[in-house]
Structures are given as C-alpha cells and as structure tokens.
Structure 1
C-alpha cells in the first residue's frame, strides 16, 4: 500500500455506513473516497453531462446477470432507475440467466447477437475465448472519459490480472474475493452421531454416512444440476489440484507446479481419477439422489427445508443463505468445511474471476460504461443494487450486521444481476460473528495464496476448433463423473479420453504449453 492512505467512515442517507479510503494519490493501492464515497459522485449536472460528456439524450441499457431473476426485482429496479436517471440519464432493464442452464443460454446470447448492453463476464464463463471471438467491446480508450471512478480507483494489479492480450475488455470486480469450496452442514447432527470434527473430505464422507444411516427423512446432500461440481471441487483441491489457473473443467495442474509440468486433461489426471472413484462410491451409498442431474432446486434450499443435511458452502453461498437458515431454524447448529489446496492454502483468484463486460453489439457502449461507473461512484446506489431496499429486503441489526427484516424469512432479492460488481471500498455491513464466513475470512487472510500462473490467460484462437470440440466433450462427461452417476469410472474415463483425443486434445495441450512457456519467459 502506498503512503498517505487513511480510513474514514461515510454515513449514508440509507442509514448505512460505507467504509471507504481516502488517498492523496489517485492511483494508490487503496484509492480515494473522492470518487468512491460521495453519493454525488460524477452525477449528471443541470446541463446533463457526466464527467463532461453530454448525456442529455435518455437511453435504455439492457443488463444481463447470472443466477436467476429475483422476486422483488421490479421494486428494487424502480429505485435504481430513479438514481440512474439523475446520474447518467439511463433507464436500466435487468434480466438474469438461471443457474440450471446458464452455460448454454449464456453462449446463445453471445452467439445470437441479442441486444443486451452489459453482461456478467469472468474467467469461468470463458471471457477470454469470447473476447477473441469479438463478443466484447474494447474499453481501453474509453475508461478515463466515461468511467472516472473506475479509472481513479482500480489498481494496476487489478487491470493486469484481467486484461486480455494487453487490452481491457471487462471491468473486473474491485474486491477481496474469498474463494473456497466446501459445505455447510448440521453441526448438531454431527455431534449427535459422534462424527469426528469435519476437517477433510473424508470426514465429510463420514458425516454423510451417519446421516444416511440415522436420518430417514432427509438425504445427506441434494445438489442441483448446476451444482454437480460441488463435491468434486473441494475433493480435488484438498488433494492438490490448483483452481483458477487452468481452463475450468478441462485441465488439471498440481499445487506446487510453477511451470506446467503436471498439466493433464481431467480424463488423464490421477487426482481426478481418484476423486471420481471416491465420489462414485458415495453416490452408490445414496449420499445424494440418483436424479441429481435433473434437479432444479439448489442445495441450500433443500438444506433450509430440512430435506438435506448439507449444502454447498462457498463464500457467497454462506453469505446469501446463512441468515435465512438460522432464522428459519434457530435451534440448529451450523458448521462449515472449506477445502484448502493441498491442505496448505486458500486459493486467491485473479481479478478476471469476476466482472462485467459490454457487448460489442451495444449501440450505447459509452453510456453503458457510465452506468457501471455511476453505480460504483455512489455507495447508496451500489448497496441498493447488491442488496435491495433496506427494511424490505434486508435490515441492519444492533451490531451493524446485515439481517432479514422483522417477520421475513427471505430477502426476495439477491444481487445476482450485479454479482460481477463486488467492491471493497463500500462496506455497508459489519461481519456477523456467528456466521462461518467470519472465521473463514480471518483464516483466509493468513493463508490466501495467488499462484504464479494465476494471471496467465490462454488464447484458444490458434486451436479454436479443437478447443470448442474438447469443451463439448467436457460438457458431456464432467457432470455425471463429478457426482459419481456412472456405472464404471475406468470405462467412462477411457471413453472420455478417447473422445478428447479425437477432438484434438493433444493439439490443444501443445498450444497451451507453448503459450504458458512464452508467458513464463516474460513474467
């Protein structure tokens, strides 16, 4: 952090407190509240300008997120649009793709040319691949004029971790991303059945077995179709697979690898072969339903309803569900397990992991960028976008922690539309000390690690046909293998590997290693 940085608190009209940073340096590591903390920000002047740019013509901006539309969207959007009309003379339209079929629908939007302006973008949605296909607007020369808050506050590291071929095609979140995979579970049931403390996936398996044997009215775990990865991910991380380094669901690389020497396709990886076999043994024991790949109900919903004894426990799953679970079941004790990579550290993702992009087809790209910037410039507006209306969708308890409104069992609004806009300069709530996230964040701060190859972005263009083909093979095999819903793991892996090779896997691997070595030589 550069010198001259001081923390202050800005009390906002909503009755919230936003933690922001004031700095004498515009490009500081933790930059100024002048743009981030003032609700006036760069609002539209009487002459209808934003940062000196004419915005006198009202425009409509269509915004697409992932995670599904929210029950209270219309009420929240009405309030959002009141502020955006004042700031950038924009009316926003919001839509969100359900998790159940996000991959196909997301790619269909990009390939069909639907007239959205802003869309969620991240490494795991193949932002680099889609950028090189021409899906997203190059924002490099637009930032200073149309996004003053972002230009002044985002750090050089943030940009470097999210640039594609040296250019800015997405606005990454500016936040401390907490990245772990694991589970929430019933601590009271763990104690009741004398299961050891859950510190590993083997312990999680023992817990699942105890539930299977003793709780006939619930299943140990009930994942939705889009959560097929939630058992596999913590298992392979614990065994040493590095996340956020290789293309998701295609390549594996081990924890201590600094040069790509352990790169392997999932169909060839010893870590994944072991994981698939263990997970199949759990599936055969009935730890989750056989029809999980057709289930549309997310695991945390089944958990809250008492139909399952665990749900997926990544940071945002806990953040969005813990309060609701405890309000519905104050007599429960909730525990959490979070996998460490190789048992050593929590993975710290690059900023390309989460963000928003403007479609190349947008007719109002400048105003779309201003809209993104305007939300970041105003703590009240940002909080409204992320959490909804205070007193209706959330409240703040006496300790400053976010809670549900009196008499409510659900928020009816989660910021799925704006999940690519996490922002550490605005912190309207204090951590709830009872939430598993409080302890996990403290531990994360001590052992989070950014791998050397975390900023490497593969350019699939030289092997685009082969890459598309192996991606299709991945989608065919990974979900069923990841939940052990196959008859014979060895046979399925052999078929998987055969189809990967036929699709051009060896050519992709050669190109991947070539680019990685070139990147390592420069970094």
Structure 2
C-alpha cells in the first residue's frame, strides 16, 4: 500500500523563520504526554517503502572513514528500555567494534516525563551522538534552534549507502531551512488513532459498536451496568480527550486536540481560516461530556495522578475501552499481547468517522546528530549499519532469534514464550526510525492491521501541516506561562473533576489570556499563513 505520490509534492520544505539560535527550548506538544506518544509513534503499516532504485538520491563516493581511535557512541531513545537490553547491546558492540572500532551505549528516557528529559538532554550540552527525532518531539523547532548538525555533507561521506537508500523526496521532506537534520525512516505509515474495545463484552451484552459519541456512551453505560467491577475507560492522564474526534462539529479539524497548537482549530479544507477551539461551544460541549463520564463512573476521579498506562490496564482485563494513542499498529500489538487470554477485542479508527485520514510525514520517525556529538562521522556510519546491515537490524528490532522470537514457516514473526513477559518484545528498543522494509517481520496480528490500513487508504488525504517549522522565540515566555495554565486549569476540566464546567472554562480562558494566549495564537497563525502560502495551499 503505497502512499499516493501526490503527497510528496506537499509540505516538503519548512518555512525560513528567524535566525537559528544556539539554545534549545521545550519539546512539549501542547498537551500530549508520554502515554499518548509512546503508542502514537509505535506504528507501522503493511506497505512497502518507496523504492530506493530510481527515486533514491545518488550517493557520492565515500571517503575513508577514520576508525583509528576507538570510541563509545551515546545513543538516546525515547521510552522504556527492554529487560534484555544489555544482552542486545553486548552483541551489537561485538560487531560494531570489529566493523567501526566503536561501541555503543543505548540510553532511554523512559516514558515518565520524557519530554522534559528530552529537552534537558539537548540543552545540557552533554555528549550525545544520536538521538531520536519526530514531529512529536519537536524536530523542526530543535533543528531551527541549532540543536542538530546538518547532515548534507556528512551523509555522502560517512554513510553513502544510507544516503542512496533513502529516496530523495524523503530527504527533501525533512529539510528545515534547506538543510537535512535527521535521517527519516523509509517505512510509510498511518498513525491515526482509534478506539480499542472489548468485542466479547459488546456481543455478550448486545451493546453498539462505539463508532460515534452516542454509541460510545451507550457502550460505556452497558459496561458500567453489567460489569460493575470494571473501569469502563482505561485512559489515564486525561488521554480520553482524543474522543473529541467523534464530535460532529469537529470532523474537519486538521489536527487532533493533543497536537493542535495552542487550542487552535485548523480546518483541513480551509487552513487559513483558523479559529480557537479553546473556549468555543464545541470545547464546552466536550468538557461537559467528560464531566458526565466522571460522574457516571466511566472515568476514575484520580486519573491525573494514576501512573498506570491505559493500554496495560486494558490488556489486564480491568478496562473496557482505550480511546487514545491507539493507532492500528498499537491495536495489533494489543492483539498479540492478549492472544490466548480469552478476551476478544476490536478496533474502530477515528478517521472512519471523520471522513479522512492522513499518512504520516517522513519526519515522524528519525535520528539526528546533536551538535554536542564528539563522533558525528562514526555515529552516522553506525546508523547506516542499523538500517542496512541485516545482522544489526534484526537484532535491534526483534532480539535474539530462538530466544526472543522465531520465524514461522509462512514468514511470520512469533514471540518465544509469553510475548507480554518477553525480555525483548517485537521492536523492543522502540526502533521505529531504523525499520527496513526489506527485513521487517510481522506477526499474524498484522494481517488484521493491513486490512485497517487498506480502509484508511481509501479516505487518505495528504498531511500538509506537519512540515511547518514553528519558531516560538517571539512568544517563548508566553508559551511557557500558557503551559502552566493548561496544567493547572484545563487538565482538571478535561478530567471531569471540576463541578461547574462553564465557570471552570471561563476561568481557564481568563487565565490563558492573561498568560498571553492571544499573542501565542496570533504568532503561530502568522507563521502558518506564510507557510501555507509557501506550499501553495
């Protein structure tokens, strides 16, 4: 399933903004948290990557890589490390020492407060040789701020095969200010979210498929009545706000709420006509719905303080639905994890209600070399090994064959033993960025996921907004103040624990405006207008 080629002509260059500064700033995504981002990025499709032949950039002849000095590369991932990381690291280092006279230390942020940790890593100046990048880690902003080294000259010299492997249009798509700062994954994806729900309970109690707000509430009501010991909604940390996508008045929003900057409503079909979702009637309606869910017991009142991940609660059989961070591949992972439990689950993609889906932009998964790197050439050469050398790729994506996984006679990935308790589950290092479609292994759940992607492809529209490289320097102080206001006043409203919703929303808007909401929104809209004009929208 190839992404339509017309997509590549849209959003390929970032706006030329203010002069790049030397400092680094926050990677916060205006409301998204680690749980959402963990599964939002852990996504893949049954499609093939763009062919490296024909479309690929022409690799320049490689100069001899100086490997005379042994080095240790510092490699940083987002998320949690697998239990058997040390074993994988040891095996990788045996090869890397022989091939590149280098060893690698794999570091992970954990999902707890990952955004702040990511920001501190880049601001500290500590030696980092490779770090994960994505739209949701604010790749463009950090690139604009000078956090990463430009790779244009390094690629043909240190990683010529990788330079040729990634299609030219993908290199173009990740440029910021005309320069390449990250190596994108060549694996084409959809990461649009959906609802995962207990299908066996739906059938047992004759409940509706939760494919609209009305049907979702009827489903939740049936669960509450018939399974009083179960938590109807698994999401923690007010991630259930993703259900706004089922609101009839918000079908045309180009962003989901978690990633919509500064509470703005950007219509997909008329993106210059930006309005504020925050404070609108639709916003008030959704907040009242969330309050009703908490009052009815669909949501626990302590959700903002509960560190349990929603998908984990769901997989344990203690909850009936997950409303956020469940793209089709995350659903496939739950299918694998819950296989053999006797629980039947199903999935409804939000785009099927909204009427359109967007394929992922190439900046969604990548790796950059921070300016603090002591070994940029060796780091890029090592990354080339991760992507193109099958030994490195399979080991870091799937673990040790025979111990962590096996390949069935029909070519499917099979976890050894209990997949949920594996020391290295599939893509256990969160290696989404170095996926190589030629080597990828899929378990049987991906047969289901592939069908979902075929559905989404029938309503696919290009993602033209992700290419905007925001420069929030002119309103940085107001932006930081606004984040504090969101945490203090908006989060409780979204959790449904504010008694008077209308008064609470009024207070939030007053505090937000006092913090500089108008300046922030106006500053972003000006950049958006310029960017849209630049790309011809």
**Which band: TM-score by shorter chain?**
0.7 to 0.9
Larger mean CA deviation between 255-264 and 189-198 belongs to 255-264
Q: Kindly state the Cα deviation for residue 195 of structure 1 after the two structures are TM-superposed.
A: 0.8
On the 8 A contact 2:246/2:354 being kept in 1, the answer is no
**Residues 473 and 387 from structure 1, CA distance in 2 versus in 1: closer, same or farther, beyond 3 angstroms?**
farther
Query: Counterpart of 2:338?
Result: 325
Secondary structure at the aligned position of 2:421 is classed as coil
**Residues 139 and 229 from structure 1, CA distance in 2 versus in 1: closer, same or farther, beyond 3 angstroms?**
farther
Unpaired runs of at least 5, structure 1? 2-17, 36-41, 43-49
Query: Counterpart of 2:78?
Result: 66
Query: Counterpart of 2:517?
Result: 505
**Residues 249 and 190 from structure 1, CA distance in 2 versus in 1: closer, same or farther, beyond 3 angstroms?**
farther
Which of residues 38, 54, 61 is equivalent to 2:66? 54
**Residues 101 and 441 from structure 1, CA distance in 2 versus in 1: closer, same or farther, beyond 3 angstroms?**
same
Residue 87 (structure 2) pairs with residue 75 (structure 1) = yes
Residue 317 (structure 2) pairs with residue 306 (structure 1) = yes
On the 8 A contact 1:88/1:374 being kept in 2, the answer is no
Deviation string 1:197-249 (CA, Å, 9 cap, x unpaired) is 23234322222221111112321122233846554566699633222799545
On the 8 A contact 1:181/1:339 being kept in 2, the answer is yes
Which of residues 400, 403, 408 is equivalent to 1:392? 403
**Residues 151 and 333 from structure 1, CA distance in 2 versus in 1: closer, same or farther, beyond 3 angstroms?**
same
Matching of residues 292-441 of structure 1 within 5 Å: 292-311=303-322, 312=324, 313-327=326-340, 329=341, 331-340=342-351, 343-406=354-417, 409-414=420-425, 415=427, 417-423=429-435, 425-430=437-442, 432=444, 436-441=448-453
**Residues 402 and 283 from structure 1, CA distance in 2 versus in 1: closer, same or farther, beyond 3 angstroms?**
farther
The whole-number CA distance in structure 1 between the counterparts of 2:223 and 2:305 is 23
The whole-number CA distance in structure 2 between the counterparts of 1:107 and 1:404 is 35
Deviation string 1:79-135 (CA, Å, 9 cap, x unpaired) is 222232233222111121222322222222222333332222222222223333332
Query: Counterpart of 2:457?
Result: 445
**Residues 262 and 522 from structure 1, CA distance in 2 versus in 1: closer, same or farther, beyond 3 angstroms?**
closer
**Residues 156 and 270 from structure 1, CA distance in 2 versus in 1: closer, same or farther, beyond 3 angstroms?**
farther
TM-score (norm 1): 0.83
Secondary structure at the aligned position of 2:347 is classed as strand
**Residues 206 and 430 from structure 1, CA distance in 2 versus in 1: closer, same or farther, beyond 3 angstroms?**
same
Secondary structure at the aligned position of 1:53 is classed as coil
Which of residues 147, 156, 162 is equivalent to 1:144? 156
The whole-number CA distance in structure 1 between the counterparts of 2:246 and 2:380 is 36
Larger mean CA deviation between 192-201 and 331-340 belongs to 192-201
Residue 254 (structure 2) pairs with residue 242 (structure 1) = yes
Query: Counterpart of 2:227?
Result: 215
Matching of residues 109-188 of structure 1 within 5 Å: 109-188=121-200
Q: Kindly state the Cα deviation for residue 21 of structure 1 after the two structures are TM-superposed.
A: 7.8
TM-score (norm 2): 0.81
On the 8 A contact 1:346/1:448 being kept in 2, the answer is yes
The whole-number CA distance in structure 1 between the counterparts of 2:468 and 2:353 is 21
Secondary structure at the aligned position of 1:250 is classed as helix
**Residues 236 and 374 from structure 1, CA distance in 2 versus in 1: closer, same or farther, beyond 3 angstroms?**
farther
**Residues 301 and 246 from structure 1, CA distance in 2 versus in 1: closer, same or farther, beyond 3 angstroms?**
closer
On the 8 A contact 1:66/1:417 being kept in 2, the answer is no
Query: Counterpart of 1:9?
Result: none
**Residues 513 and 238 from structure 1, CA distance in 2 versus in 1: closer, same or farther, beyond 3 angstroms?**
closer
Secondary structure at the aligned position of 2:105 is classed as strand
**Residues 262 and 119 from structure 1, CA distance in 2 versus in 1: closer, same or farther, beyond 3 angstroms?**
same
Larger mean CA deviation between 19-28 and 72-81 belongs to 19-28
**Residues 112 and 404 from structure 1, CA distance in 2 versus in 1: closer, same or farther, beyond 3 angstroms?**
same
Deviation string 1:436-487 (CA, Å, 9 cap, x unpaired) is 4232122122222214334222222233333333334334445434433333
**Residues 244 and 187 from structure 1, CA distance in 2 versus in 1: closer, same or farther, beyond 3 angstroms?**
closer
Which of residues 485, 490, 511 is equivalent to 1:473? 485
The whole-number CA distance in structure 1 between the counterparts of 2:419 and 2:135 is 36
Query: Counterpart of 2:285?
Result: 274
Unpaired runs of at least 5, structure 2? 3-46
The whole-number CA distance in structure 2 between the counterparts of 1:20 and 1:378 is 17
**Residues 303 and 453 from structure 1, CA distance in 2 versus in 1: closer, same or farther, beyond 3 angstroms?**
closer
**Residues 91 and 476 from structure 1, CA distance in 2 versus in 1: closer, same or farther, beyond 3 angstroms?**
farther
Secondary structure at the aligned position of 1:92 is classed as strand
Q: Kindly state the Cα deviation for residue 194 of structure 1 after the two structures are TM-superposed.
A: 0.7
Query: Counterpart of 1:47?
Result: none
On the 8 A contact 1:101/1:226 being kept in 2, the answer is no
Q: Kindly state the Cα deviation for residue 153 of structure 1 after the two structures are TM-superposed.
A: 2.4
On the 8 A contact 1:19/1:428 being kept in 2, the answer is no
Q: Kindly state the Cα deviation for residue 65 of structure 1 after the two structures are TM-superposed.
A: 1.4
Q: Kindly state the Cα deviation for residue 424 of structure 1 after the two structures are TM-superposed.
A: 5.1
Query: Counterpart of 1:27?
Result: 56
Which of residues 278, 295, 307 is equivalent to 1:284? 295
Cα RMSD for the two superposed structures? 3.2
The whole-number CA distance in structure 2 between the counterparts of 1:419 and 1:234 is 32
Q: Kindly state the Cα deviation for residue 22 of structure 1 after the two structures are TM-superposed.
A: 6.6
